[in-house]
Every structure is written in structure tokens, then in C-alpha cells.
Structure 1
């Protein structure tokens, strides 16, 4: 397993990038979530997997803990996928040469757990590969909102990763629930998600995937407890919207060819 961060014997954060699962969900219609990205992360002899999502033809958002590794890390983004074991003509595989982790990301408690990956070449936008909108800085998702999370993760705690894209419906919860259970919880930059009674959740391997509410990606799968499914902590995208926009502008500047001024 990759990316199991053991903070104490009692408290285990689960960056879902090792084997992954969508628990209590169901398979989605093939290519009905065209913004979804499958990340293959190679570090030395180990290979981990994460989710992600396309927000522009040249940019994928994911969780910082997915790529925060020692040594050389190679990341490949696969777009337009449904069944990861078949050679789908719709798939676009892009080797990621550059990514930007939030400067205040903390691997110990997963604060500011967000990374922006630059795609070069850009993704080819078509029926199976499209981007999803993100909220503005002042745009918040309300408690009780029913959202969706997709991933290629396990369908049971001890099972294998799903070959096909699956999805689970989860409700946004009261902030107080996560504040009581997570010492690291920050209201402004995190979202408390899950349903105590539904037995539905994300898990390892679904990290970096989007929390889609009202057709926008409001959150990023980040972490939770090892011994129970509820609640889970998601990175709040609206809080990071100014930082995301700044990085996207830098991506554009990097693509402008250098032309020396003439005398």
C-alpha cells in the first residue's frame, strides 16, 4: 500500500492513493463523467493511483499527498477512461512534466492538500474528455447538499481496485462533526462530508477526485479515519480559487514563446 500516513496509533489519516475504493456506490454510465482523470504515480519501484479532474485543457486538479514523495516521481494522467483494463480508443495518456503543490501544504496533517498538474500536450477536448467548472472564492456549498464522488477505488475494505469508474452520493455535513473528530480540521479550507447511516464512502485510491455539487467541483478527496467511514475531509476548492487562477496564469505565460526585442 502506498501513502498510508500513520500519525498515531489511534489516529490514521487515509490519503486514498494506494488501492482505493468507492464503497456503497455504483458503476456510472461509460464516459458520463468526462472530467475525470486517473493518475498513475510511480516513485522508485512503487506505483500508486489517485483520482483527479480536468479544469482546463492544460490543467488537472488533485490532492497534494498524491505526488508528495521522496525521490523521483513520475506522473501519468489518463483522461477519457472508463474501464482501466481495456484499451479504450477514448483514452488520452499524458505524461505530466510539471505540477505545483500549494506552498502551505502540510504532509503531517494534510492542510492545504491541493496540487495543480500542467498537461503538455494539452488534452484534446471531445465527447469523452471535458473539463468541469470550479466555484468562485465566495461560493460555498451548503450543509445537507447531496454531492457525487467518482473513482476507480475498492468496493470493499479488503477488495481490489475497481476496473470501471464508480460513483457514490455523499452529503455535506455540519462543520462541528469534523471539528470534534479531526484536530487538523479548518473550516475555511476543508469540507466535512459523509453520511453516518448510509455506509457509503471514498477510500484509498480515490484521493484527488472531485466532490461534485450542483455541477461544479467543490471539493477534493483528502483524508479520513481508518477504522470508520464517516466523516471524511475534502479540500475546499473555493478557498483556493485565487491560488488556482494565479497558477493557471503562470501556465499560460510559460507557453508564450520567447521573442527577444529588436534594437
Structure 2
């Protein structure tokens, strides 16, 4: 089974579209109430990504998830464990708009971050909750064990996983990623993974949070063709000022009389 997983990892990366957690396990139902499932409908196909709720009206994800032509709409599903059924815990909210970082580049997934504004505010309850993000340039030390969750395929040719999966990964120093990724930027990226190459995020887990000490320190961004280790995550703390600026703009747009208010 592991051999099959290793072979399947040799296909296209970074991870946008259907995918899976490799070497992980099913998450306890509703144990990660900040998780968001993004259903992205474009003119020619529908894809999926992860995300996480940082304010009742705002979700963070990876820019490469929404950097597509002809996007018709994005539906954000909160409070989900099994995304194939209409669980009573689920809240399905359209994204009113989304802001990709102005310096995002698909080459190397540089500045791979997007903020989505929900059309209506999520109802915070037992199944839907916010997660904190770190302050500017706040870091976790190499060796810290963190967790990532997501939905995706259970085999290379199978359909997407119905239930949320999760995996534990370790924060690495920058060297493994600097050696492998030509465009690795240590200030805005994190190097993460399992050195035994038995556990990994994969296509479709993009946009999900790397949670360390109950904060979302990273965003699933990219991997390397044919390798499960290491992986690159967007460093959330580096973008905290930009995130804060966009959240303030979202709030201003809701004021009566604002040009963008609905």
C-alpha cells in the first residue's frame, strides 16, 4: 500500500484539485470546527480545496486554489465531517468575493495566500468555530509537531474521501526545502514534513491549515514531484499585516453607503 502511495506521488504537484492525506487517519468527527471545505466551480470543471475560518465572515486558503480561469462561484462548507451528505452541522455559504495576494506568483507558489469574504457570516457554535493566527513573524521552532487535516481521494484512481482525514507532520529547518525548491523563501514559507516519507499532505489538501499549539501557522501550498518530503507551507505570520488590512477593508465595505456594500 505504501509503495502505491509513493508511486502515486510522482504525478503533478503542487496540489490543486482532488487529493488526499497520505499516511494519516480519519479525524474525530467535528474535532476541527475551524476547517472549511471549498467547492470551486469553474466554467469547465469543479475542484476542491481546504481552508480555515479566522472570522465569522472570512476564510483563509491558498491562492493557487482560486487562481483559475472562468470561476463561476465558490461555496464554503463549514461544520462538515462527511462532505458527501447534508449533515445538520454544516453551513454552506457562498463566497461573496476573494482577494489573492497582489504579489502571488504561480511559479513556485510564491505568496500563496487568498482571503475569502463570505456572503453571510457563519453562525459560531459547537461545530463551527474560529482559529487564531500568529502575530507578525511569530514562529514555531523546528521539531514542533503539528497537524493538518483535509478531504481527498483514498486511492489514486478512487473518488474523494467522504470524511475529513488528518496527519501529524513536523516543522523542519529551512535546509531541506532550500535544497529542493529553487524559489523557496524562508521569510514567507515554512518547511514541513515527515522525514520517513510515510506521511504527507497531497493534491486537494491545499489551503488547509498547519495547526501548531492551537494556532494556524501554515497553509498547505506545494510539494515536489516524486517526493513526499519535504513540503512547503505558506507562513501565515509573515502575511499577518496583509490579512489584517484586508479584514479592515471587508468591515468598511459592510458600512451603509459604502460603494461595495450590498
TM-score when scaled to structure 1? Answer: 0.91
Give the deviation of 1:161 after TM superposition: 1.8
Give the deviation of 1:118 after TM superposition: 0.2
Superposition RMSD in Å? 1.5
Give the deviation of 1:52 after TM superposition: 0.2
Q: Identify the residue that residue 239 of structure 1 maps to in structure 2.
A: 238
What is the count of residue pairs matched by the alignment?
249
Matches within 5 A, 1:129-148: 129-148=128-147
Contact 2:50 2:61 in 1 (8 A): yes
Q: Secondary structure at the match of 1:221?
A: strand
Measured against aligned partners, the alpha-carbon deviations of 1:56-97 in whole angstroms (never above 9, x if no partner) come to 001000000000011234111000000011220111111112
Q: Identify the residue that residue 45 of structure 2 maps to in structure 1.
A: 46
Matches within 5 A, 1:214-253: 214-253=213-252
**Superposition misfits of 4+ residues, deviation over 4 angstroms:** none
Matches within 5 A, 1:1-263: 14-258=13-257
Gaps of 5+ in 2: 1-9
TM-score when scaled to structure 2? Answer: 0.92
Gaps of 5+ in 1: 1-10
Residues in 2 aligned to 1:136 and 1:59: alpha-carbon distance in whole angstroms: 17
Q: Secondary structure at the match of 1:136?
A: coil
Residues in 1 aligned to 2:223 and 2:12: alpha-carbon distance in whole angstroms: 5
Deviates more, 1:67-76 or 1:19-28: 67-76
Contact 2:197 2:228 in 1 (8 A): no
Distance 1:13 1:114, change over 3 A: farther
